[in-house]
Amino acid sequence: MSNNILLFTIGYKNLSQLFCVPPATLSRVINKAELALESALDDEPMSRIVWPSLRDQSLWAQKVEKKNPLVKGRWGFVDGKKYRVQTPNDHELQNAYYNGWLHRVFVTGAICFGVDGTIVWFRHNCPGSWNDGETSKQFQNKLCR
């Protein structure tokens, strides 16, 4: 996971003081916890992120068209997300994560949902200054193949 410090609204320094552990220990524990969570979710079928088969894409597109006859060939929806984070001390990093429109510091991302609620694709921990189109570039490229 990139930029772990930005996952919290409180920095590692403050978090390690709060729990009375050295920052290196806190970092190691969080990294191990992320690996343990990933391992636990690997065995849980409902937690998977799966690219839908062409058959599923077709069925989902039919459901969308049935509900909205003018919308054809669409099987999923992309939405952006923003999470407020603590302002980084580094000026260049702070500038990248600052969203001028909302006047706050964020990490952002984008999620594609299938019409049945399945998470098909996601990207997170992007700079707050990026828009949904920028965070979903990899997804757009995948769709063009």
Under 8 Å between Cβ of 104 and 95: no
Q: Which two tokens stand for residue 63?
A: 């459901």
Under 8 Å between Cβ of 89 and 82: no
Indicate the pTM of the whole model: 0.59
Q: Which two tokens stand for residue 139?
A: 């997804």
CA distance 133 to 143: 14
> What digits encode the pLDDT tens for the residues 73-130?
999 888 888 887 777 777 777 777 777 777 778 788 888 888 888 888 888 777 777 7
> What digits encode the pLDDT tens for the residues 34-77?
888 888 888 887 777 778 899 999 999 999 999 999 999 999 88
